[in-house]
Amino acid sequence: MIFDVAIVGAGPAGSSCASFCAMAGLQSVVLEREKFPREKVCGDCLNPSCWPVIKRLELKQQVWDLPHSNLGSVTFIAIDGQKVMLDLPSVADCEISVKRSLFDDLLLKRARELGTKVYEETTVTALTKNGHWKIDTASGQAFHARFLIGADGRNSTVARLCNLLPRPARERVALQAHITLPPNFGNRIVLQFLPEGYSGQAPVNDNQLNLCLVGTPPAISRLRHWAERQFDLPANQPWRTITPLTRSPVASPHQDLFFIGDSARVVEPFTGEGIYYAMRSGELAADAIARILKGDNHPRILRKFRRAHAGMYRGRLWINRLARAAVLRPQLGSFFVHAARINPSILKLLTAKITSAPLR
- Picking from 53, 48, 51, the residue whose alpha carbon sits closest to that of residue 72 is 48
pLDDT of residue 86: 85
Q: What is the pLDDT of residues 144-167, one digit of tens each?
A: 999 999 999 999 999 999 999 988
Q: What is the pLDDT of residues 320-340, one digit of tens each?
A: 666 667 666 777 777 777 676
Q: What is the pLDDT of residues 122-137, one digit of tens each?
A: 999 999 999 999 999 9
Q: For residues 30 and 113, what is the distance between their CA atoms, to the nearest angstrom? A: 13
Lowest-confidence segment of 174-178, 265-269, 290-294 by average pLDDT: 265-269
Domain assignment of residue 7, yes or no? yes
Q: What mean pLDDT comes out for the span 23-41?
A: 97
Domain assignment of residue 109, yes or no? yes
Instruction: Look at residue 52 and tell me whether its pLDDT is greater than 60.
Output: yes
Instruction: Look at residue 351 and tell me whether its pLDDT is greater than 70.
Output: no
Domain assignment of residue 207, yes or no? no
pLDDT of residue 248: 86
Three-class SS of 112-174? HHCCCEEECCCCEEEEEEECEEEEEECCCCEEEEEEEEECCCCCCHHHHHCCCCCCCCCCCEE
Q: What is the mean pLDDT of the chain?
A: 90
| Count of domains for the chain | 1
Strand duo 142-150 + 132-137: pairing: antiparallel
Q: For residues 260 and 278, what is the distance between their CA atoms, to the nearest angstrom? A: 6
pLDDT of residue 359: 47
Domain assignment of residue 239, yes or no? no
pLDDT of residue 267: 79
Phi (first) and psi of residue 196, to 5 degrees: -95, -10
Domain assignment of residue 205, yes or no? no
pLDDT of residue 105: 98
pLDDT of residue 288: 98
Domain assignment of residue 354, yes or no? no
pLDDT of residue 332: 74
Domain assignment of residue 136, yes or no? yes
Instruction: Look at residue 4 and tell me whether its pLDDT is greater than 60.
Output: yes
Domain assignment of residue 138, yes or no? yes
3-state helix, strand, coil in the chain (%, to 5): 35, 25, 40
pLDDT of residue 270: 62
Tell me the CATH number at 257: 3.50.50.60
The answer to whether the beta carbons of residues 288 and 305 sit under 8 Å apart is yes
Range of the domain at 286: 2-42+99-168+247-318
Instruction: Look at residue 257 and tell me whether its pLDDT is greater than 80.
Output: yes
- Picking from 223, 200, 196, the residue whose alpha carbon sits closest to that of residue 328 is 196
Cβ neighbourhood burial of 222 (10 Å; 0-12, 13-18, 19+): middle
The single-letter DSSP state of residue 199 is E
pLDDT of residue 147: 98
Instruction: Look at residue 171 and tell me whether its pLDDT is greater than 60.
Output: yes
